[in-house]
Structure 1
């Protein structure tokens, strides 16, 4: 595990975009294709707006999401809408995109989305994670009733979680899928999250789900701080 410190969030976004692009290039050289799973929220937007210009063979890349809120496709909280608006443009417009919520029917029945995703599951080669001030990553929230299942299922895939401290049910990758990625990046910005990360690095606890990812990662894992 490597850690990189950046003076500003913009510096962090640029460095992340370069590193993610390089990781995609490596996966394409090895496999002929690459699967990239990204996180949503507002924090990744500056990185998306840099990554979409990187000289990657985007036609060989499938982009999907680490997690998604169960909301309509045009909802302001939709991670899929965020990716379409800020990443699937310019050079990256030629990438394929696999949404976690594909249509209105899956909003009404998110279990059908999970069934679709797991039936055609492709392990992400590159995963980009964020972290909340409560120590959640992806949609592995400490208060979600499904957390233990998400942490213990040995088969990589998706499941639904229902965090009580966040709006909307979620569709999320489980721990096994996060750990199976060849490269993973964790972006952490601000003093409060830096303090949460410091606690998480002291050892694994379900009270800080990100700590379990950190404790169990065995492949390329980089932390980008700002």
Structure 2
């Protein structure tokens, strides 16, 4: 695992965009195509707006999500909507997008959406993760009743989680899927999250789900801090 520290969030976003773009190009050069799974929320927006201008063979990239809220496309809380608005434009508009929630029916029945996604599962090659101040990553929350299933299932894929403190059910990649990626980038910003990251690096525990990614996937894992 490598850790890169940046003086500002803008520097972090630029450095991360360059690294993700280079990782995609390496994968495309090796096998002709690449699957990129990104996180939502407001934190990655600055990186998306830089990554979409990178000289990547976007027509050979499939973009999907690490996790998604069970809300219809266009909803203010939709990660898919965020990706369409901030990443899938300009050069990156040539990429193919595979949302986790395709329509209102998926939002109403996320278990059915998960069954569909797992039936056609494609392993992401490059994964961009964030981390909450509670130590969750993707939608693997310590307080979700489905956490153990998300951590213990040996087959990479998706599952539904119901975090107690979150307003929506979630669809998320499981731990096996995160660990199977060729490259993982974890972006962490601010002193509060830096303190959580330091704890997660000291001990692998389900109480801090991100710690299990850090402990089990050292090769090919880069942490970008600001």
User: What is the TM-score with the length of structure 1 in the denominator?
Assistant: 0.99
Q: 5+ unaligned residues in a row in structure 2: which ranges?
A: none
User: C-alpha separation between the residues in 1 aligned to 2:22 and 2:90?
Assistant: 18
Shift of 1:105: 0.8
User: C-alpha separation between the residues in 1 aligned to 2:44 and 2:159?
Assistant: 23
CA RMSD between the two structures: 0.5
Shift of 1:112: 1.3
User: C-alpha separation between the residues in 2 aligned to 1:96 and 1:21?
Assistant: 16
Q: Which residue of 2 aligns with 1:199?
A: 199
Q: Which residue of 2 aligns with 1:162?
A: 162
Q: 5+ unaligned residues in a row in structure 1: which ranges?
A: none
| SS of match in other structure, 1:201 | helix
Shift of 1:167: 1.4
User: C-alpha separation between the residues in 2 aligned to 1:180 and 1:74?
Assistant: 30
User: C-alpha separation between the residues in 2 aligned to 1:10 and 1:186?
Assistant: 16
User: C-alpha separation between the residues in 2 aligned to 1:2 and 1:155?
Assistant: 26
User: C-alpha separation between the residues in 2 aligned to 1:165 and 1:196?
Assistant: 18
Counting matched residue pairs gives 226
Q: Which residue of 1 aligns with 2:134?
A: 134
Q: Which residue of 2 aligns with 1:173?
A: 173
Shift of 1:218: 4.2
User: C-alpha separation between the residues in 2 aligned to 1:170 and 1:107?
Assistant: 9
Shift of 1:219: 3.1
1:74-113 matches, within 5 Å, as 74-113=74-113
| SS of match in other structure, 1:222 | strand
| SS of match in other structure, 1:210 | helix
User: C-alpha separation between the residues in 1 aligned to 2:116 and 2:47?
Assistant: 29
User: C-alpha separation between the residues in 1 aligned to 2:175 and 2:219?
Assistant: 14
| SS of match in other structure, 1:15 | helix
User: C-alpha separation between the residues in 2 aligned to 1:75 and 1:29?
Assistant: 36
Shift of 1:57: 0.2
Q: Which residue of 1 aligns with 2:222?
A: 222
1:60-108, CA deviations, whole angstroms, 9 ceiling, x for partnerless residues?
Answer: 0000000000011111110000000000000000000000000011111
